[in-house]
Amino acid sequence: MLESNQHSIFQTINAASPIDKVGVEERVARFQTRSIKDDAKAQGLKMVLSMIDLTTLEGKDTPGKVKQMCFKAHHLHDLHPNLPQVAAVCVYPSMVAIAKQALKGTSVKIASVATAFPSGQSNLEIKLADVKLAVDSGADEIDMVISRGKFLSGEYNFVFDEIAMIKEACGVARLKVILETGELCTLDNVRKASDIAMYAGADFIKTSTGKIQPAATMQVTYTMLLAIKDYFEATGKMIGMKPAGGISTSKLALHNLVMVNEILGPNWLHNKWFRFGASSLANDVLMQLLKLESGSYQSPNYFTLD
């Protein structure tokens, strides 16, 4: 199936014009100068909360830590009524079953990283088994990493086929493809990897693992959003976007929403199509929301320790 289509797909992928880095920087700078008034800010901040994938991806994760995070996912700040839940929690495959148990009866989704996260340095068999473990344990979403080494050596077919096979293994789970843009070196590569991921079957494209710097810079997210726009115009299919890593302040999150709205439009302003991968963003947003309400600047002392 792939072989007959591949020629035309790769023509499309290679057809994207080169990225003008200086132009991107200027455009991105303009998203950061919008004046957002208090009412809009409060709504925007609540939207940010509803789009967060609350994340813990550490070697030292324990069932206790995961349970605590799951509790937080649907009790963001009990002293403040009318807060949304976060969109999902994001954990390692070994923690999916624990998260599933902890989130029973809530609408919070479970995302699991897989495919030898974060490096992706393993063979296909093991990557598929990793995905199977996560899916069988109850993950609703799979965050896979692409093989950056293969990508950078020009083996685009390999990367494409791998994503397609992982997608097949996901079944009904939605697939987020992590490009790890910090290792792709140029925005042209980011664009190319985005196109490969989308044509290979990604439901979401995601910037980073959070383990490599730089992670979700606005320049990179901008480039990926444009790729999503072009893909939508070519195929009519909506693809989700997930910047992850380095978005820890409300201000930056709001800038990202402004950017999504201006490039993709309001249809993407929903947690079905846009997510933030973050661990410390939620508390900052909560602090800003309470500041708007009370008029006083807040202290981290009165929010959860994650």
Partner 1 sequence: MSNLEVLKTYKLYIGGAFPRTESGRFYAPVSNQGEVLGNICLSSRKDLRNAVVAARKAQGPWEERSAFNRSQILYRIAELFSDRKEIFLKEFQKQGSSPEEAVLEFSTTLDRIVYYAGWCDKYNQVLSSVNSVNSSHFNFSTCEPMGIVALIAPQNTALIGLVSLILPALAGGNTLVALASETLPISAISFAEVLNDSDVPAGVINILTGKQDEIAPIMASHMDINALISSDLGSIENQIAEACIDNLKRKFTYTEDFNQPESQGLTFIADLQEIKTTWHPIENIGGSTSTY
**61 noted as active-site residue:** no
Q: Tell me how far, at minimum, the Cβ of 300 lies from partner 1, in Å.
A: 7
- Among residues 302, 304, 305, 306, the one that binds partner 1 under rule CB under 8 A: 302
Is 298 an interacting residue with respect to partner 1 (CB under 8 A)? yes
Shortest distance in whole angstroms from residue 303 CB to partner 1: 10
The residue among 254, 243, 253 whose CA lies nearest residue 216 is 243
Q: Token match 């792709």: residue?
A: 184
Catalytic residue among 192, 195, 242, 284: 242
> Of the two residues 35 and 301, which places its CB atom closer to partner 1 in the complex?
301
* CB of 78 or CB of 125, closer to partner 1: 78
- Only one of the segments 6-14, 69-77, 157-165, 292-300 lies at the binding site for partner 1 (rule: CB under 8 A); that segment is 292-300
297 is a contact residue toward partner 1 (CB under 8 A): yes
Angstrom distance (rounded) from CA 256 to CA 285: 14
Q: Which of 72, 109, 192, 206 is catalytic?
A: 206
Closest CA to 175 of 148, 191, 198: 198
Give the residue carrying structure tokens 């910037």. Answer: 207
Contact between 35 and partner 1 per CB under 8 A: no
Residues 6+ apart with CB under 8 A from 194: 179, 205, 223, 224, 227, 228
Is residue 258 within 8 A of residue 28, CB to CB? The reply is no
295 contributes a contact to partner 1 by CB under 8 A: yes
**Which is nearest to 132 in space by CA: 118, 144, 150?**
144
Asked if residue 79 binds partner 1 (CB under 8 A), the reply is no
299 binds partner 1 (CB under 8 A): yes
Of 14-22, 109-117, 229-237, 293-301, the segment contacting partner 1 by CB under 8 A is 293-301
| Structure-token match 């609540």, residue found | 46
33 binds partner 1 (CB under 8 A): no
Residue 140 is a catalytic residue: no
Residue 304 as a binder of partner 1 (CB under 8 A): the answer is no
Size of the site for partner 1 (CB under 8 A): 8
CA 276 to chain centre: 5
Task: Name, in order, each residue with C-beta under 8 angstroms of 146's C-beta and a sequence gap of 6 or more.
Answer: 120, 159, 162, 163, 177, 178, 179, 180, 193, 196, 197
Angle (CA) 203-116-281 rounded to 5° is 60
Position 248 contacts partner 1 (CB under 8 A): no
Cβ 282 to partner 1 shortest distance, Å: 18
Select which of 140, 143, 195, 203 is catalytic: 143
CB of residue 48 to partner 1, shortest distance in Å: 19
**Smallest distance from partner 1 to CB 287, Å:** 9
| 6 is a contact residue toward partner 1 (CB under 8 A) | no
Among 296, 304, 305, 306, binds partner 1 (CB under 8 A): 296
| Residue 233 burial (C-beta neighbours within 10 Å; 0-12, 13-18, 19+) | exposed
- Catalytic-residue membership of 143: yes
C-alpha closest to that of 135 among 123, 144, 124: 144
Name the segment binding partner 1 (CB under 8 A); options: 126-134, 219-227, 264-272, 294-302: 294-302
From the list 69, 74, 42, 61, the residue with the least C-alpha distance to 304 is: 69
Q: Which amino acid is at 269?
A: L
Residues that bind partner 1 (CB under 8 A): 295-302
Catalytic residues: 143, 206, 242
